[in-house]
Structure 1
Amino acid sequence: MDAPVINILAPKTLIGKKLEMSYMNNRTGELWCSFMPRRKEIHNQIGSELYSMQIYNGIFDFRNFNPNDTFTKWAAVEVSDFEQIPENMEHYTLKGGLYAVFTHKGPASAFMPTFQYIFEEWLPNSAYEVDDREHFELLGEKYKNESPDSEEEIWIPIKPRS
């Protein structure tokens, strides 16, 4: 796996849908199945990328990972403003800040080795630690879900190690 690109992200305005879930009770498929058919109702989109965002209750700590811990998962797109929000959708402002950006290549179901590399190898050996902000995957034109040719960007919020 390649080393990440370190990026400073400007705040983003998003519109989408969210669900509470845990990794043991993963409702990601349900969330995306409810969002994707209605995506075209969002008229002020910027770009075509999809945001698959996780908001954890505190700092995500892989060493003390509990698959039953709940978090909020979003399926969203970036928008220019919050003036028109479709019914049963919500808005969110992604804070932005310093991120390590990794590229996952391969099917979405083969994500675990990438996840382990980030949190077990790269992060402990880097000059950074996880920050208490949004984690997200950016699903662009190369994203093809379960295709072996699929690519997605993984954005991990970081700050210099204290």
Structure 2
Amino acid sequence: MVKYYSQLKPFLINENIISLEGTIADNHIRKWAMVEIDDENDNLSKFTELEILILNSNYFSFTHTGSAIQFNSSFQKSIEYLKTNKIQIDERYPRLEIMHNIYRPDVPLSKEQFWIPIIC
């Protein structure tokens, strides 16, 4: 994505950066950086190396406000909420973090959305 970012700018739905995290084996994860693009545009066919991902799952979402260092605390509270309410995480689907274009990891008022796949 980084390789094509400037060329993809005209096709972006927004300027948010999405971090996608999926489990590939015990204690191993794979992370990707993504952007949302308008897939209705015929000019995208020239980007043959891009991967298209369509997510078809239910997600629990929360917004973390604070620095990146404080994120783990918010994440743990969300996991506890799911466990307390007997909501099961769906490990077949990736987790998502959406960092808006104004996101700065060291700024205490930064916001990021985190999406956890769940089984309903």
| TM-score, structure 1 as length reference | 0.62
Identity of aligned residues (%): 25
Which residue is equivalent to 1:74?
A: 32
**1:112 pairs with one of 57, 69, 72:** 72
Aligned residues between the structures: 114
Q: 2:17 touches 2:101 (CA, 8 Å); kept in 1?
A: no
Task: Give the helix-richer structure, 1 or 2.
Answer: 2
> What is aligned with 2:56?
96
Structure 2 unmatched runs, 5+: none
Following TM superposition, by how much is the alpha carbon of 1:115 offset from its aligned partner in structure 2, in angstroms?
Answer: 1.6
Choose between structure 1 and 2: higher strand proportion.
1
Residue 45 of structure 2 is matched in structure 1 by 83
Structure 1 gaps of 5+ residues are 1-15, 17-34, 59-65
- Distance in 2 between the 1:110 and 1:137 partners? 15
Residue deviations 1:63-92 (CA, integer Å, cap 9, x gap): xxx7xx221101110112352327xx5313
Paired residue secondary structure (2:11):
coil
TM-score (norm 2): 0.80
The equivalent position to 1:124 in structure 2, one of 80, 83, 87, is 83
* 1:109 alignment partner AA: I
Structure 1: 4+ residue segments shifted above 6 A:
none
**1:51-110: per-residue Cα shift (whole Å, max 9, x none)?**
11101127xxxxxxx7xx221101110112352327xx5313132321111011111122
Question: How far does residue 127 in structure 1 lie from its aligned partner after superposition?
Answer: 4.1
Cα distance in structure 1, aligned partners of 2:4 and 2:109 = 26
